[in-house]
Each structure stands twice: as structure tokens, then as C-alpha cells.
Amino acid sequence: MLVANLFGTDGIIVVVIALIVVFGGSQLPKIARNVGAAGKEFKKGQQVEEDGGEKAPPAAPPAPQMITPPAPAPTPDTVTLSKADLDAIIEQRLASRDDPSAN
């Protein structure tokens, strides 16, 4: 009779309060998540056992879709150059720095 009352509504409240005291409130979500995952694995194992131990291979996950964001619209302060144009500008600046008469 005592065991039956332990699993009633009052018993669940007592167990929850005891868990909060023992583990602290911050650890309870982690514990609940782990218990849920363990329950799912247990049910999955039972299902495999009921099917004769043969487990069908899981379906392949869908290939990830590469989503590229749209190119930002150029602003008045933005300049776009090709690598060749940038190299040419760098060459000009280096040449003008080395040649004082070019200023």
C-alpha cells in the first residue's frame, strides 16, 4: 500500500522536489533530455528485437543545400576591382614611390 501511494501525485511531487534539491535547478533540463534520449534508444532497441534482430539501414539524410546570400548592393563608399586591376594599382603606387619625379 505504501509503494502504491509513493507513485501517486504526491509521490511525484516529492520526487521532483528531491531531484531539485539533489541536482539543482540548472541540471534538471540536461537530466530530462538524457532520460528522454535513453527512452528513445530503449524503444528503438525493443523494436529491433521484435523485428528479429534485423535492423534496416537508416535512410540517407538529404544532401545539404548550399544557400548563398545575395550579393550586397554596392554603396557609394564601395569599390569593386578585379585582381588584375588591384595588382596594376599596386604596381603603379610602388613605381611612383620609388620614382620621386613621378609626383
Question: pLDDT tens for residues 8-30?
Answer: 777 778 887 887 788 777 777 88
d(CA 86, CA 92): 10
Structural domain boundaries in the chain: 2-50
Q: What is the mean pLDDT of residues 35-59?
A: 78
Q: What pLDDT does 31 receive?
A: 79
Q: Where are the alpha helices (DSSP H) in the chain?
A: 2-6, 9-23, 28-50, 83-98
d(CA 28, CA 23): 7
Are the beta carbons of 96 and 102 closer than 8 angstroms?
yes
pTM, 2 dp: 0.33
